[in-house]
Structure 1
């Protein structure tokens, strides 16, 4: 029985990592550098796609509505792009998109530990809220936890969800 369970877990992890892509919406070049290096170490199978502005992200997501094979498994969204108003607007816009996009889990990444931001993030439909580390060494366990949860524990929806 144990071997059957382990085989199912392995199959699920392989499915999650197949064509795995994560959209990272981050305007700060220094933060992006830390994130990309940590991702490379902890999630080498996952392709990061970075957009630096909400407008870039919106254009890309609109294209992905018609190219579902390109859809990421996860979106990491910086709240302050550079203001929180832009982050909230982008989140609202993503959640209003067709099911192929609006069902992608969104993890809000922010330097803010403000309880109001955290509560508003969950109310707006994010799957998780993470306060960004300030040192590279802290990014590594964070991305290892992301790997463990989003790629090794949960079963993500299939890429093709359009109606």
Structure 2
């Protein structure tokens, strides 16, 4: 696993989806802490002021799993904001959403997404996607040192 053990940030409004992701991460022995933001505003507050609140990580995440369709500030806005911020634009952002709409996919890549994955409904398929994320983004890939 990523030796620096930076957190994995999951921006997900659904408690059920976040719980399933957590189970899949544990099954694949993810050592990095997993931190959840429940909406886009909370994610931007953390990322733009990490370490500002006592219960938030004091480092930037290794990767971000970002849902698109959330109440309030949606994932597209979060992605655009991150990729235009020189302190945050190198963090890999993996769009992890139920939408397989080609317009959403194209827009996310235009905004700077590093990857786009459709969230499966079936738990075993979710486990496989999580395995791929962990193996590629945290085991195989060389990530930038942001902190």
- Give the shorter-chain TM-score range: 0.7 to 0.9
Structure-1 separation of matches of 2:99 and 2:74: 15
Verify the 8 A CA contact 1:43 1:143 in the aligned structure 2: no
Q: How far does the alpha carbon of each residue in 1:12-34 deviate from its partner, in whole angstroms, 9 at most, with x for none?
A: x5xx3322311110001111111
Per the TM alignment, residue 74 of structure 1 is displaced from its structure 2 partner at its CA by: 0.1
Q: What corresponds to 1:42 in structure 2?
A: 28
CA offset at residue 69 of structure 1?
Answer: 5.3
Instruction: Give the structure with the higher percent helix.
Output: 1
Note the alpha carbon deviations across 1:53-112, whole angstroms, 9 max, x for none: 1111111112228899511110000011148x722111111122232x221000001101
1:94 pairs with 2:79 = no
Q: 1:77 aligns with which of 36, 46, 66?
A: 66
* Pairs aligned (count): 144
Misfit runs of 4+, over 4 Å: 65-69
Give the equivalent residue in structure 2 for 1:126.
113
In the alignment, structure 2 segments of 5+ residues that lack a partner are: none
Matched, 1:110 2:97: yes
Structure 1 unaligned segments of length 5 or more: list them: 1-12
Q: The residue matched to 2:140 in structure 1 has which SS?
A: coil
* Aligned residues of 2:51 and 2:58 also touching (Cα < 8 A): no
1:141 matches 2:128: yes
Residues 96-149 of structure 1, C-alpha deviations (whole Å, 9 max, x = no match): 2232x2210000011011111111111110100000010211111111111111
